[in-house]
Amino acid sequence: RILIEQSRDGIVTLDQNGNVYETNLKFAEMLGYSPEEVLKLHLLDSISKIRFAENEYVFVNAMDGKALVTHGRYNNPPRDILASGDTAWIAIFRVKQSSAANPPGVFHTYRWALLSSTKTSAKTAYFSYIPTWQWVIGMGFYEDDVNSVISLRRKELIEDMWKTVRSVMIYL
């Protein structure tokens, strides 16, 4: 560890997928970044790849209004939420900012466009503030997605119930 940190050569360690795992100060300087900035870049890239379902993703915003990860995409350079002119996005960002005053985080329900279409749906999201980097990170779910799963499970449950009723009736 000491040899890597004190080396005059730039050293980067990659994981089996080719993602940056670790760098030394010299490598970060060669790129014009601090080691912490390299870590942030790696985290943002990794976070952008997280998916829970087709329309569900993690998002990251800086408290100054820069969208770092949006719709599951790493924004390099960051998108400026406040200069976007999108009043809905700006309003939701203001709620995200409120998570700084609520350390456990904030739940909020709002209408938002699905990634897979132009349709909007009620979305419930959780926002949490990361003070060290002045980031708000969050993710949410669309009520339509949850309702469709509930509907499918209800149908399966009813089918199973009728199978059980038929089985019991045969024995009677």
What pLDDT does residue 168 have?
86
DSSP label of 92: H
- Tell me the pLDDT band of 170, cut-offs 50, 70 and 90: confident
Is the confidence at residue 11, as pLDDT, over 90? Answer: no
Is the confidence at residue 35, as pLDDT, over 80? Answer: no
Mean pLDDT of the chain: 89
The owner of tokens 């942030």 is 40
Q: pLDDT, tens digit, for every residue of 154-167?
A: 999 999 999 988 88
Is the confidence at residue 16, as pLDDT, over 90? Answer: no
- Tell me the pLDDT band of 69, cut-offs 50, 70 and 90: very high
pTM over 0.95: no
Percent of the chain topping pLDDT 90: 45
d(CA 51, CA 48): 8
**C-alpha Rg value of the chain to the nearest Å:** 23
The owner of tokens 């749906």 is 121
- Tell me the pLDDT band of 147, cut-offs 50, 70 and 90: confident
d(CA 92, CA 94): 5
Q: pLDDT, tens digit, for every residue of 70-87?
A: 988 999 899 999 999 999
> CA distances (Å), 135 to each of 70, 79, 96, 144, 147, in order?
13, 14, 10, 28, 31
- Using DSSP's 3-state secondary structure scheme, residue 44 falls into helix
Other CB atoms within 10 A of residue 141 CB: 17
Is the confidence at residue 47, as pLDDT, over 80? Answer: yes
Say which residue, 98 or 55, is predicted with more confidence: 98
Stretch among 19-28, 48-57, 69-78, 114-123 having the lowest mean pLDDT: 19-28
Q: Dig out the tokens for 136 from the structure.
A: 């708000």
